[in-house]
Each structure stands twice: as C-alpha cells, then as structure tokens.
Amino acid sequence: MDNWERSIDDRVSLLEDTLRVNSKNLAYNLFKLGMKIGVFSYASNGKKSFSVPYIPNNEFLEKYLNASKRIGLLRKKNGSYDIGYFRMNFNRRDFENIIPEYIAMYDDIAAMAHYKAISKDHPNVLMSFGKDADVWDIFFSNPFCFVYREIIKDILKLKNGDRVLDVGCGSVAPVYFAELVGPNGCYRGIEKSKGLAKIANKRLRRRGMDWAQVKNIDFEKASVFGRYDYIICAWVINYLDNIRKGLKSLVSSVSPGGKIVFFDIFPDLVDFDVTVYEFYNSLNKSFKGFITSHELLGTLSEFDPELEVSHASKTFLIIEKKA
C-alpha cells in the first residue's frame, strides 16, 4: 500500500476529526432528546430505577433506549432502567481541526428526531432522498462534502479524458466531478432519487456539460454499466438495499488498472462509537447500517481475488483492479 501526500493526509485528518467530535455532539443530542421525550423526568422522581415513558412512536422509543444503553446513558436492570454513568468531555484539541458546518448539519438532523418520536411519518422529518431532495441538496453543499470530493479528486488525480462512474451521486457532486474530466472524458452518475437526479441533470445542462449525465436508476437493479477508469462511492454503500449485488456490479464496471474509491464511516476503523450516527442516520428509512471495512473487502475479493487496497484511512478505501 502506498502512502499518500501530506496535503491529502491533513485533509483526511480534518474529516476524521470532525466525525469524531460530531459523535460526541450527537451523544449530547441523544441525552437532550431523552429530556425532550420525558425519559429523564421519569428518572428524576427519587427512585433508583424507572419504567419507560409513553411516546406515540413506540418503535422509535425502542431504538432510543437501545442506542442510549449502548453508549452508557442508560442501564437496564430487571426490566426497568437506571441512569448510566455518562460523561461528556470536549477539549480544546477537539475544536482545533474540525468543520463546524458539519456539526451544524447534524444538529439540524438531531432536531428532527423529536418529531419522529411523535409519529413515524411526521412531516417535519425531512430525511427522505426522494421527498426531501431539496433538503439533501443543501446537505450535499456542506463544506465537509467538498473536502471529501477534493480528496477523491487528488487521490485519483482526475483529469480531462478520464471515465468516471459515481454511484449514488446526489445532486452536487456531478458538476464537481464532470468539470474535472471534461470535455474529453465521461462522467456518469447513478442516482435512485428522481428529485436529486433532476436537480443534477439541470445543473449539468445549464453548464453545457454534454459529456456528463445522471441516470435516475437503482444501482443494484441495473446490470450493465460499461467500463470506467474510476468508480466513486462516497457516503452511499450504507444505503444500498442489496449490497452484495451492488458490489458485484462495481467490480465488473471498473477497467483493468482502474480504481474504486469508498468514503464512509467504517465501524472497525474509526476511533469512536458509531451508535449515535446509526441512530440519527436511521431517521432516513433508506439507511441500512454501517458495513465494516473487513466485510466490504471480504465481499469485494469474492468477486475478484486480485483486487488490491492501494490506499486506506479510517474513512477512505481505495481499491485497485489489476491491469
């Protein structure tokens, strides 16, 4: 495995530190959510343990209690709950190297959780890629997303003439990557949400980028993609319905000598507990849960045993197909 340049390394640390600090912010939000839905008022009546409060969305309450147990906020004992030993600790180092807009974005997401407690389909929960494409379009414009796109550009050394497939491309990445590979290359985005694909194609057309297009299809259902020099999977594999099928298509769509880039939270690599991200990300019904790097690499190598990891960090895996 090669080392990557210092400037890439610094930006990867910026993303990974931001994710770590935000996991603490989300744990704090989980505690505050407990206060909002009444968990702690039941707990503060002088008794050592308490029974769970009533909230209309019972399934969501179960998820809340499970996440709270996992991070130590609550303890279950003989069918009732105790407040666990929970301590939050932010220090100066936490704020030296982070992207504050990412924390703010997750604060917006955390605010939606209270509505989810009221009802399963509450209109104030704006997390659906289809129905809430306009909200996701704002999320995809977060500076955090531009940092990982820029890292992908630099790792792959994207240039005019390259052929790129971007799986689950959303609405903002297409113009960014298409600009780098045009006019002689080709950019193909695959996007399941009609609304996001529409926004992306409108932007590509407005800029006259006729070498670029976003197909509004479900990646796992489409079978033939052609061959690409590079495949980008940024913040997407946890949303696929059939990850094995998706990974098989990826492997067969990359040219010999080409690369697949994954950017995501890999629970076995990051240095924080992913429980809080799982809890808040699952406000989006499409979220399936995180996959470990071990599982991802194991599945990829079943489809092509000669694939190699050319670069890796806690959140990036770059896979190369033998020439």
Ligand X SMILES: C[S@@+](CC[C@H](N)C(=O)[O-])C[C@H]1O[C@@H](n2cnc3c(N)ncnc32)[C@H](O)[C@@H]1O
For the bound state, the minimum distance from the C-beta of residue 260 to ligand X, rounded and expressed in Å, comes to 13
Residues 259-298 that bind ligand X (CB under 6 A): 286
For the bound state, the minimum distance from the C-beta of residue 207 to ligand X, rounded and expressed in Å, comes to 17
One of 212, 240, 270, 307 touching ligand X (CB under 6 A): 240
Q: CA–CA separation, 130 vs 323, rounded Å?
A: 38
One of 169, 212, 276, 283 touching ligand X (CB under 6 A): 169
For residue 165, what are its two tokens?
């497939």
For the bound state, the minimum distance from the C-beta of residue 96 to ligand X, rounded and expressed in Å, comes to 25
3-state per-residue secondary structure call for the chain: CCCCCHHHHHHHHHHHHHHHHHHHHHHHHHHHHHHHCCHHHHHCCCCCCECCCCCCCHHHHHHHHHHHHHCCCEEEECCEEEECCCCCCCCHHHHCCCCHHHHHHHHHHHHHHHHHHHCCCCCCCCCCCCCCHHHHHHHCCCHHHHHHHHHHHHHHCCCCCCEEEEECCCCCHHHHHHHHHCCCCEEEEECCCHHHHHHHHHHHHHCCCCCEEEECCCCCCCCCCCCEEEEEEECCHHHCCCHHHHHHHHHHHEEEEEEEEEECCCCCCCCCCCHHHHHHHCCCCCCCCCCCHHHHHHHHHHHCCCCEEEEECCCEEEEECCC
Pairing of strands 186-190, 163-167: parallel
Q: Which is nearer to ligand X, 52 or 173 (CB)?
A: 173
Q: Which is nearer to ligand X, 23 or 281 (CB)?
A: 281
One of 170, 174, 185, 267 touching ligand X (CB under 6 A): 170
Q: Which is nearer to ligand X, 191 or 229 (CB)?
A: 191
Of 44-52, 57-65, 187-195, 302-310: span binding ligand X (CB under 6 A):
187-195
One of 156, 173, 307, 318 touching ligand X (CB under 6 A): 173
Q: Which is nearer to ligand X, 21 or 127 (CB)?
A: 127
Fill in the per-residue mask, 48 to 67: x = in contact with ligand X (CB under 6 A), - = not in contact.
Answer: --------------------
Phi, psi of 267 (to 5 degrees): -60, -30
Residues 192-221 that bind ligand X (CB under 6 A): 192-193, 196, 218-220
Which of 222, 242, 282 has its CA nearest to residue 26?
A: 282
For the bound state, the minimum distance from the C-beta of residue 129 to ligand X, rounded and expressed in Å, comes to 4
| Strand partners for 315 | none
One of 106, 129, 144, 187 touching ligand X (CB under 6 A): 129
How many chain residues interact with ligand X (CB under 6 A)?
Answer: 22
Of 45-53, 78-86, 106-114, 165-173: span binding ligand X (CB under 6 A):
165-173
One of 231, 234, 260, 261 touching ligand X (CB under 6 A): 234
Asked if 172 interacts with ligand X (CB under 6 A), we say yes
Residue nearest to ligand X (CB): 168
Q: Which is nearer to ligand X, 168 or 267 (CB)?
A: 168
Q: CA–CA separation, 313 vs 22, rounded Å?
A: 18
Which of 268, 255, 274 has its CA nearest to residue 319?
A: 255
Asked if 239 interacts with ligand X (CB under 6 A), we say yes
One of 17, 132, 162, 191 touching ligand X (CB under 6 A): 191
For the bound state, the minimum distance from the C-beta of residue 34 to ligand X, rounded and expressed in Å, comes to 27
Q: What is the binding site for ligand X (CB under 6 A)?
A: 129, 140, 145, 168-170, 172-173, 190-193, 196, 218-220, 234-236, 239-240, 286
